[in-house]
Amino acid sequence: MAEQFKEQGGMATMDPSAAFRWLSSKVMSKVISPQRQIKIREKVEKRRQLSGARHVVEYFHQVEDGYSHLAAQTLKSLSARYDIDLQCHLVTGPSGNNIVEPDLLLKLSQYDASFIAPHYGLEAPDGKQAPDADSIQLAESILAAVLLSGSSLSTSNASGSSLSASSSSATMSEGADFTSLAAEVGSALWSGDKVALNNLAEKYGCASPGQRAAFLEGGNARRAELKHYSGAMFYYGEEWYWGVDRLHYLETRLAELGADLSPQKPLLMPRFEVEVGKQKDNGSLTLEIYASLRSPYTAVVFDRTVTLAEQTGVNLVVRPVLPMVMRGVPATREKGMYIFTDAAREARSAKVPFGNFYDPIGEPARSCYSLYPWACEQGRGNQLVSSFLNSAFIEGINMNNSRGLKKVVEKAGLDWSVAKTLVGQSGWQEILENNRLAMYEAGLWGVPSFRLLNKQGESVLALWGQDRLWLVAREIQRQLAKDIKI
């Protein structure tokens, strides 16, 4: 049995790393609490009212990102529907420790956005190939020129060089029509229509290479100042909203503040619920979920995935993978903060308990993984994963000692007297590594990820993210309906 899991007392017996995890877990639980969100929103609105400022929404556009292409198509309707000033920035993609697989992410953004676009009534970025570097630069130059024409800031300094980074955005109510042009440029870019892109450049002009670089630099700097790292992001009042998937949160917040000019109408980008549907499978379809024991997003969706499989009759295969941090992949503070706060918001929206967090990184996760093969032999593998995630993200159980792990095991319906003799056994590492390789082969790398296989064992859907469960449910129904017609 692992030394870490010998019977331990309270804080006095904790090693320094365990004590740090305890403290950081308590802090994170408070950071993601709904009470804190309410207080921040009240503070922001009070400050805005006292200053007489308008509602200002900032948007960060990455032209080669499929999610940004969808978000760009909402800009005009968003600025017309809500009493806001919309400020748009050009940015590059995530860099450094904020991104693990940049090439895979861009490919997935095109693939995934193409799947969800029809459900939102948007144009998909469904070109046969990703945009080439020259076309990307031309698209950026066109949009930079439009921002430049709408900016009241100086475009050159005393030495005559290109505009300063502070000129990286323009307020749409005062400047050029970026809200229309971003989508039009995106259509030409993603369809590979270089003639259309060149026509837009002739019509609206192009920023110089230096000006384009300055706008990108300024957009990146503003995004970093606000503590984020990605494209397709909306920012309002100390809160981030990612693409069309999170726009309903922003819309609801603005409506609550009285900024909705058409409150009787439905939201522009509604939240999609997971709908089980009428068709019932006989196990011909297989749904794989790639799950990590340290992933807050996995905690939000795991039990719901199990329920969906039970209700639809599909065969569920759980494929655990080692958390990225435990594979040596670093994570920045801003990325961690966004993930946890967003996961908490998603959990509340889905009415899933979440938030009393105790970080299970390291020995707790390894010990649970080491028990997973045995739990599967007992027919309780899913129950073990569920119990662990609930203990870590809902109940805040300290699993750095045997008492905590015992609770996890027994909640899963397993025998602790047997389990404690198996903690730390080998063999699980190869299982998790094979799962990781299969996930990468499917073009995915993060958790939770889903893969839906037809009765021939062929992949018909491979998606990343807990916020894609609604799409998985719809595809299950589509596949079953197709089989009935045949």
The model's pLDDT over 316-341, given as tens digits with 9 standing for 90+, comes to 999 999 988 777 777 788 998 999 99
Distances (CA, A) of 244 to 115, 145, 267: 13, 26, 11
391-427: b (≥16 Cβ within 10 Å) or e: bbbbbbbbbbbbebbbbbbebbebeeeebbeebbeee
Mode of pairing for the β-strands spanning 84-90 and 169-171: antiparallel
φ and ψ at 28, to 5 degrees?
Answer: -65, -40
- Asked whether the beta carbons of 125 and 64 are under 8 A apart, the reply is no
pLDDT category, 102, cuts 50, 70, 90? confident
Contacts of 353 (CB under 8 A, 6+ apart): 347, 390, 394
**Of 160-174, 277-291, 410-424, minimum mean pLDDT range:** 160-174
pLDDT category, 158, cuts 50, 70, 90? very low
DSSP string, 96-115: GGG-S-HHHHHHHHHHHHHH
**Which amino acid, 9?**
G
What's the confidence (pLDDT) of residue 20?
A: 79
What's the confidence (pLDDT) of residue 10?
A: 39
Question: 468 pLDDT exceeds 70?
Answer: yes
Q: What is the rounded average pLDDT of the residues 187-198?
A: 96
How many Cα atoms are found within 13 Å in the side-chain-facing hemisphere of 135?
20
pLDDT category, 3, cuts 50, 70, 90? very low
Rounded to 5°, angle at Cα 148 from 74 and 83: 40
Distances (CA, A) of 20 to 324, 363, 462: 20, 14, 37
Question: 7 pLDDT exceeds 60?
Answer: no
Question: 174 pLDDT exceeds 70?
Answer: no
Q: What is the rounded average pLDDT of the residues 195-199?
A: 97
Fold match, 47-256 / 286-485: yes
pLDDT category, 2, cuts 50, 70, 90? very low
Distances (CA, A) of 223 to 62, 90, 112, 486: 12, 10, 24, 51
pLDDT category, 485, cuts 50, 70, 90? low
What span, in angstroms and rounded, lies between the C-alpha atoms of 39 and 53?
A: 19
The continuous run of DSSP H or E covering 315 comes out as strand 315-320
The 3-state secondary structure of 367-423 reads HHHHHHHHHHHCCCHHHHHHHHHHHHHCCCCCCCCHHHHHHHHHHCCCCHHHHHHHC
Residue with the bigger pLDDT between 75 and 180: it is: 75
Q: Provide the residue ranges of all domains of the chain, joining segments of one domain with +.
A: 47-256, 286-485
286-485 has which CATH code? 3.40.30.10
Assigned token pair, 239: 């809160």
Question: 374 pLDDT exceeds 80?
Answer: yes
Q: What is the rounded average pLDDT of the residues 44-73?
A: 98
DSSP string, 439-486: HHHTT--SSSEEEEE-TTS-EEEEEESGGGHHHHHHHHHHHHHHHHH-
CATH architecture, range 47-256: 3-Layer(aba) Sandwich (3.40)
Query: What average pLDDT does the structure give for the chain?
Result: 90
Nearest CA to 358 among 24, 9, 7? 24
* pLDDT tens-digit series, residues 392-434: 999 999 998 899 999 999 999 999 999 999 999 999 999 999 9
What span, in angstroms and rounded, lies between the C-alpha atoms of 363 and 3?
A: 10
Whether the pTM exceeds 0.85: the reply is: yes
Cβ contacts of 47-53, under 8 Å, gap ≥ 24: 48/237
Contacts of 146 (CB under 8 A, 6+ apart): 170, 176, 177, 178, 181, 204, 205
What's the confidence (pLDDT) of residue 167?
A: 44
Q: What is the rounded average pLDDT of the residues 444-461?
A: 95
Question: 5 pLDDT exceeds 90?
Answer: no
Q: What is the rounded average pLDDT of the residues 173-178?
A: 56
Nearest CA to 317 among 275, 345, 283? 283
Contacts of 367 (CB under 8 A, 6+ apart): 2, 4, 5, 399, 405, 423, 424
Question: 385 pLDDT exceeds 50?
Answer: yes
- Asked whether the beta carbons of 287 and 316 are under 8 A apart, the reply is yes
- Tokens 């909306």 locate to 234
Q: What is the rounded average pLDDT of the residues 435-458?
A: 95
pLDDT category, 165, cuts 50, 70, 90? very low
What is the percent of the chain with per-residue pLDDT over 70, rounded to a whole number? 90
Q: What is the rounded average pLDDT of the residues 223-251?
A: 97
pLDDT category, 63, cuts 50, 70, 90? very high
* pLDDT tens-digit series, residues 201-230: 999 999 999 999 999 999 999 999 999 999
- Alpha-carbon dihedral of residues 452, 454, 459, 465, nearest 10 degrees? -10
Q: Helices (DSSP H) in 151-277: which residue ranges?
A: 178-191, 194-204, 209-225, 243-256
What's the confidence (pLDDT) of residue 164?
A: 38
* The total number of residues written for the chain in this structure: 486
What's the confidence (pLDDT) of residue 482?
A: 85
